[in-house]
Amino acid sequence: MTDRDISYSAVIARKNEIMKQSMGLDFDEFIQSPIAFDYERMMRETGYTMDEIIRIQRETKVGNTSLLELHNLTEAVRKISAPGKGAMILVKDEAANASGSFKARRASISAFEAQKKGYKGMIAATSGNYGAAVASQAAQRGLKCIVIQEIYDSRGVGQPEIVEKSRACEAYGAEVLKLTVGPELFYMQLRTLEETGFFNASLYTPFAVRGVESLGYEIGEQVKARYGKAPEVVAITHAGGGNVTGTARGLLQAGCGSTKVVACSVDLSGLHMASDHDFNRKSFTTGHTGFGIPFATWPDRVDVPRNAARSLRYMDEYHVVSQGEVFYITELLTKIEGMERGPAGNTSLTAAVAMARQMSRDEIIVVQETEYTGAGKHHNSQLSFARDNGIEVRRGDPKDNVPGKTIVIPERLDQVAGREQDIDRLRRSYLTNAANVLPASKWSEIDIAFLAADIKKTPAWVRENKPE
């Protein structure tokens, strides 16, 4: 590859060629216009049924995780709710997967596909949990693994959570390319794929998203078997969109079409994710608005030509919570339910507490994942690091939380409220981004139909709200 142009622009221009080489998937076959593509055909042509996905995942210690009733937390919520209010809160304990998070599902099908197609190894660009999952799955399939990870700011300082994730990747046998924050992550991934000939275990391929479908499917089947009905709400931590997309698709396959899908993120508004200054001023490395908003409003900002993770296609509501609220619920889960789980996985649990107060007692809300905790992933490590970086940490009203400046931890459960995002505003932002790719005046009926499906609205709504 020494004769190839490895400048940033040249490597990015070869993206589709590199994708074909590294996955055996030609995205050109699905593309219908600069913005439209046949999404469902792309997902179907991964070639796996749900039964096959479940079988593959069982081979490598993934799936069939417990669905737990949080009795004590539910009762605590009911005590502060209006009469007749306070839904039953359930949690799907994904920390039981190999590598300790739901990301094992996301990596499992990619690892199987890589082994089946004869690749010698896998490559993933990630903040960490997914890298550990890819490394764990690669180890079980006899594959090499390279993880490309943003770990440090320009001072060489890394967040304790990210450093812990890097340690986990190496523990499972991966080689970790450790970068400083900036725009190089996907560029380095594409270069490394081209140089090694390894399989692209990107978060955003159809294989990765199909792997998460078993999570939604299990939730639907478990709730119906135990309670005789589908859950009213499933709360899903949202970052790049694969968690929402895969879980929602699985729920639909389980016959849970009436279940409300609620995306949940930590509010980190005002912090720029590619800023060297802001990098270590956030106490959450995933599941936050710095990823959740941009990826919802334009999914195709990734290493693959068309992103299989498309959250607005599936979400019904989008809730955000503060860092302090999540840390409070993380501690409460430990103290009253005897479950010590990582804060990032508790983002949707925090939103679920607020939502459960508005729901009837006979309704069910499912928090669809947990993640392992310990070392740098523990909330006390994150809070200590925040203080070391000049962020004020105190008790009080979480409404006073200012991302990057103040983390306010609630004093009482009734202060955990979160807030709902204006999802139609996000949809209009999506249409604006689409118009930047192809002017709205040039949108065909195929484009309008695609956009309507991609934001869960009608073609008429798209026409009424498209940019001038």
Q: Using an 8 Å Cβ cutoff, are 467 and 64 in contact?
A: no
- The DSSP secondary structure of 146-175, one letter per residue, reads EEEEEEE-TTS-B-HHHHHHHHHHHHTT-E
Q: Would you state the pLDDT for residue 2?
A: 54
Residue 130: pLDDT band (50, 70, 90) is very high
Structure tokens at 434: 């689409």
- Amino acid (one-letter) located at 415: Q
Query: Residue 193: which H helix or E strand, with range?
Result: helix 184-196
Tell me what percent of the residues of the chain surpass a pLDDT of 70. 99
SS (H, E, C) 101-151: CCHHHHHHHHHHHHHHCCCCEEEEECCCHHHHHHHHHHHHHCCEEEEEEEE
Tell me what percent of the residues of the chain surpass a pLDDT of 90. 81
Q: If you ran DSSP here, which 8-state letter would residue 27 be given?
A: G
Is the predicted pLDDT of residue 1 greater than 50, yes or no? no
- Amino acid (one-letter) located at 418: G
Q: Would you state the pLDDT for residue 239?
A: 94
Residues 6+ positions from 129 with CB-CB distance below 8 Å: 99, 100, 101, 103, 165, 286, 344, 371
d(CA 297, CA 318): 12
Residue 378 half-sphere exposure, CB side, CA atoms within 13 Å? 9
Structure tokens at 394: 């105190």
Q: If you ran DSSP here, which 8-state letter would residue 31 be given?
A: B
The domains found in the chain, sorted by start residue, are: 30-55+101-206 (3.40.50.1100), 63-95+209-420 (3.40.50.1100)
CB atoms within 10 A of CB 327: 26
Q: If you ran DSSP here, which 8-state letter would residue 45 be given?
A: T
**Mean pLDDT (whole number) for 117-142:** 94
Is the predicted pLDDT of residue 68 greater than 60, yes or no? yes
Q: What are the phi and psi torsion angles at 188 (to 5°)? A: -65, -35
pTM over 0.85, yes/no? yes
Structure tokens at 417: 């409220």
Is the predicted pLDDT of residue 3 greater than 80, yes or no? no
d(CA 171, CA 173): 5
